[in-house]
């Protein structure tokens, strides 16, 4: 059976006892070595985690961080007490499995290429993009089996009666989180892409993946810091946040940036943008091709923007009232000193929109409503009655847990905690897809501008954050007219300022039904508009991209469903619609304003220094900024500085 060289049919002397060629043996050897290396790394990882836990370097996770055990107990108690519900669910599950077994048998035994699936994934579920999940009968059966079980559990929880709505929604959300975690896509032996990569790389993907896991644990000091993008791929001020401008004012809480004009004339009334303090402002100036800041400047607006400080423990006692006075109102005074204008058009994005709505009511109570001539809200909530999945966890137990976490971090909520919370709302896209890519496939995440911004997190002061969660999410005091701030009880119904409200159809943080409720709270003219996509892409949608769509309706019926039914769909970006509305509240054209030509001189170039402070670095108090010139007291608006009123306001105003 051997030739003269001593080689067997397999081409190797070793084939006599293994039946494998030299190449196959070499492949097996590499695979074995890589699996052994992966095993050793796993042991090192486990021993390191246990050592840190025993030494007290890290706190083991709370077994029930959402304090959901009472709700789970009550829901399943009611399910067991409703035998008809259980029988129907089990009958549906059994029927689904019979169909699945029958279809799988036909495909395997009778080689039938196509059969009607027992269950299909939800539209847009990206976990099953690999063709193996549909073309390979084994993996197709694994997929459908998982979906049937998930549907069974979600159906039981969703159909149970005798449970208050909040508890049911909480258990539904957590049940989906758990079933998402158990998806076969998240395990090496049941993911065809991982199995293929393991064989092709001879197991190197597993060793690389474990090294990625070790690196992420090290960067998080024992807490998993899941990497979503290449954080070395971009640099703020070089690749992002590059719109020309100058910081013209600063204090403990913010820098005020004035952007350089690109037109010979600008609208008389300046535009002040307040981005959320839970992220950095450069989502509005991400890249040149999609920068809202550059686009607004090109439309002839004088743009000012607040760049919030990334606070350390020294600012833990800063309050919501401080952010209103030292943020929004300090910016109003500075803009007056820089331009001579006593009124601005203001924009509030996300939580800064909640701040802006509170500020409008406060100014109205003070008799100074003219300081903000119009207000625009991006993905912002003022009524939190229908505030989405975040709302279901805001109770006394969770607030105490957040306070405990902030106390352990020196009085601030670190950026990772907030990012982890938002990521869990879309766990398949923002958590598990990266677990598979980084740890099972052993790949490095690609450089992606939006995910770079998402990972460049900010901290929040304890006093501000707890007050915000309690008064808005938990008790909805602003919408109820019960919120007291700075000596006034705030009443949004008294606000007559013209308002433009933007919502996004797929927003998971500020759901459009919640945003719409605010449109009916104000006492003045309101234009409500709904954009396609979500919390970020629904807002940052440059017209040149020619993506998505938006809907308008001049009426404001009581229910958002009625508004949608009567709405008109428009292709592309909504920015043009807003620009036209904004221009009608901006006065005549005046010569362009260069940053620093007024009473406020430039302090430093945009994007400033606040935006450069990383949360993963040890927070330190920045050097005390130079004292800016004191702006004059705001005079009452005169007819000479007041933009001419448009003709009789119609529904579009």
52-56, 374-378, 453-457 — which one is most confidently predicted on average? 374-378
Residue partners of 76: CB distance under 8 A and separation at least 6: none
Taking only the tens place, the pLDDT of each residue in 313-356 is: 999 999 999 999 999 999 999 999 999 999 999 999 999 999 99
Confidence of residue 651 (pLDDT cuts 50, 70, 90): very low
526-538 residue pLDDT tens: 999 999 999 999 9
Could you write out the DSSP letters of every residue in 323-369?
Answer: IIIIIIIHHHHHHHHHHS-S-EEEEEETHHHHHHHHHHHHHHHHT-G
Report how far residue 287's alpha carbon sits from residue 304's, in angstroms, rounded to the nearest whole number: 18
Residue 550: pLDDT band by 50, 70, 90 thresholds? Answer: very high
Do residues 212 and 227 lie in contact, with contact meaning Cβ atoms separated by under 8 Å? yes
Do 314 and 283 form a contact (C-beta atoms < 8 A)? no
**pLDDT tens readout for residues 558-607:** 999 999 999 999 999 999 999 999 999 999 999 999 999 989 999 999 99
Q: How far apart are CA 438 and CA 419, in angstroms?
A: 18
* The pLDDT of residue 13: 43
Distance CA 126, CA 426 (A): 12
Contact 304, 256 (CB under 8 A): yes
Helices (H), 182-319: 192-200, 204-219, 292-298
pLDDT score, position 626 = 42
For position 616, what pLDDT does the model report? 72
* pLDDT above 80 for 44: no
Q: How confident is the model at residue 634 (pLDDT cuts 50, 70, 90)?
A: very low
Determine how many CB atoms are found less than 10 A away from the CB of residue 529: 19
366's tokens: 């003070």
Helix, strand, coil distribution of the chain in percent, nearest 5: 50, 10, 40
Secondary structure (DSSP) of 273-284: EE--TTS-GGGG
DSSP assignment of 119-166 equals: --PPTT-GGG-STHHHHSHHHHHHHHHHHHHHHHHHHHHHH--SS-HH
d(CA 444, CA 430): 15
Instruction: Find out whether the peptide bond into 607 is cis, omega within 30 degrees of 0.
Output: yes
Q: For residues 423-447, give the mean pLDDT.
A: 89
Six-digit token pair at 251?
Answer: 């204090």
Q: What CATH number labels 245-392+458-612? A: 3.40.50.1820
Q: Specify the range with the lowest mean pLDDT, choosing from 107-111, 153-157, 446-450, 477-481.
A: 107-111
Average pLDDT over residues 387-393: 82
* Predicted local confidence at residue 100, as pLDDT: 87
pLDDT computed for residue 320 by the predictor: 97
pLDDT on residue 622? 42
The proportion of the chain whose per-residue pLDDT surpasses 90, expressed as a percent, equals 59
Greater pLDDT, 478 or 401: 478
pLDDT digit string, tens, across residues 285-311: 999 999 999 999 999 999 999 999 999
Nearest to 175 by CA among 44, 68, 322: 68
Instruction: Tell me the pLDDT tens digit for each residue of 199-235.
Output: 899 889 988 998 888 888 887 776 788 888 888 889 9
pLDDT at 65: 66
Dihedral of alpha carbons 87, 92, 97, 99, sign: positive
Measured distance CA(215)–CA(220) in Å, rounded: 9
> Residues 144, 100: contact at Cβ < 8 Å?
yes
What pLDDT score does 256 carry? 98
Instruction: Give the pLDDT band (50/70/90) at residue 170.
Output: confident
Judge whether 286 and 540 are in contact, CB under 8 Å.
yes
Which one is predicted more confidently, 191 or 106? 191
Which residues are tagged catalytic? 350
Cα 402 to Cα 404: distance, rounded to the nearest angstrom:
5
Give yes or no for a contact between 476 and 396, defined as CB atoms under 8 angstroms apart: no
Q: How far apart are alpha carbons 517 and 523 in whole angstroms?
A: 13
Choice between 390 and 338, residue whose per-residue pLDDT is larger: 338
Q: Give 500's DSSP letter.
A: E
The answer to whether the CB of 522 falls within 8 A of the CB of 494 is no
Bigger pLDDT: 372 or 646? Answer: 372
- What is the pLDDT averaged over residues 483-489? 94
| Res. 638 pLDDT band, cuts 50 70 90 | very low
């Amino acid at each position: 059976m051997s030739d003269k060289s001593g080689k067997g049919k397999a081409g190797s002397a070793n084939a006599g006892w293994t039946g494998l060629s030299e190449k196959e043996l070499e492949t097996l050897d590499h695979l074995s070595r890589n699996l052994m290396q992966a095993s050793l790394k796993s042991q090192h990882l486990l021993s390191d985690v246990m050592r840190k836990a025993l030494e007290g370097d890290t706190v083991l996770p709370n077994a029930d961080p959402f304090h959901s055990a009472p709700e789970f107990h009550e829901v399943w108690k009611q399910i067991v007490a409703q035998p008809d519900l259980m029988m129907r669910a089990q009958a549906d599950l059994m029927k689904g499995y019979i169909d699945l077994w029958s279809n799988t048998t036909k495909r395997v035994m009778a080689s039938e290429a196509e059969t009607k699936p027992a269950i299909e994934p939800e539209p847009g579920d990206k976990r099953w993009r690999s063709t193996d999940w549909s073309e390979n009968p084994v993996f197709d059966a694994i997929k459908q089996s998982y979906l049937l079980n998930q549907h069974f559990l979600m159906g039981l929880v969703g159909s149970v009666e005798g449970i208050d709505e909040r508890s049911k929604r909480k258990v539904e959300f957590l049940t989906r989180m758990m079933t998402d975690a158990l998806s076969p896509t998240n395990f090496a032996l049941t993911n065809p892409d991982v199995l293929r990569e393991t064989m092709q790389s001879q197991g190197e993907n597993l060793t690389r993946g474990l090294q990625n896991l070790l690196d992420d644990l090290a960067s998080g000091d024992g807490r998993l810091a899941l990497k979503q993008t290449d954080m070395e791929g971009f640099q703020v001020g070089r690749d992002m946040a590059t719109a020309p401008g100058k910081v013209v004012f600063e204090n403990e809480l913010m820098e005020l940036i004035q952007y350089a004009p690109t037109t010979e004339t600008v609208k008389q009334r300046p535009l002040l943008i307040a981005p959320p303090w839970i992220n950095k402002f450069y989502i509005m100036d991400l890249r040149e091709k999609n920068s809202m800041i550059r686009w607004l400047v090109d439309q002839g607006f004088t743009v000012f923007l607040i760049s919030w400080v990334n606070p350390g423990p020294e600012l833990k006692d800063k309050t919501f009232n401080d952010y209103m006075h030292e943020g929004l109102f300090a910016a109003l005074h500075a803009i007056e000193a820089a331009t001579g204008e006593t009124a601005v058009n203001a924009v509030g994005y996300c939580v800064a929109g909640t701040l802006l709505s509170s500020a409008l009511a406060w100014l109205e109570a003070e008799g100074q409503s003219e300081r903000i001539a119009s207000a625009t809200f991006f993905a912002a909530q003022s009524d939190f009655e229908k505030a989405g999945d975040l709302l279901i966890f805001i109770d006394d137990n969770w607030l105490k847990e957040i306070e405990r976490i902030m106390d352990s971090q020196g009085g601030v909520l670190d950026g990772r905690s907030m990012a982890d919370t938002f990521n869990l709302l879309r766990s398949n896209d923002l958590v598990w897809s990266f677990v598979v890519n980084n740890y099972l496939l052993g790949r490095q995440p690609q450089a992606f501008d939006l995910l770079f911004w998402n990972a460049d997190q900010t901290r929040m002061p304890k006093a501000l954050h707890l007050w915000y969660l309690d008064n808005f999410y938990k008790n909805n005091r602003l919408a109820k007219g019960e919120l007291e701030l700075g000596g006034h009880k705030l009443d949004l119904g008294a606000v007559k300022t013209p308002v433009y409200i933007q919502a996004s159809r797929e927003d998971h943080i500020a759901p459009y039904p919640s945003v719409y409720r605010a449109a009916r709270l104000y006492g003045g003219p309101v234009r409500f508009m709904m954009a396609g996509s979500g919390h970020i892409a629904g807002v940052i949608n440059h017209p040149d991209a020619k993506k998505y769509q938006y809907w308008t309706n001049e009426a404001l019926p009581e229910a958002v469903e009625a508004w949608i039914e009567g709405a008109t769909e428009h292709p592309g970006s909504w920015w043009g619609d807003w620009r036209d509305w904004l221009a009608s509240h901006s006065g005549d054209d005046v010569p362009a304003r260069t940053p620093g030509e007024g009473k406020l001189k430039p302090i430093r170039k945009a994007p400033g220094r606040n935006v450069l402070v990383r949360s993963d670095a040890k927070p330190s108090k920045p050097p005390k900024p130079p004292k800016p010139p004191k702006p004059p007291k705001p005079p009452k608006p005169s007819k000479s500085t007041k933009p001419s009123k448009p003709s009789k306001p119609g529904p579009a105003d």
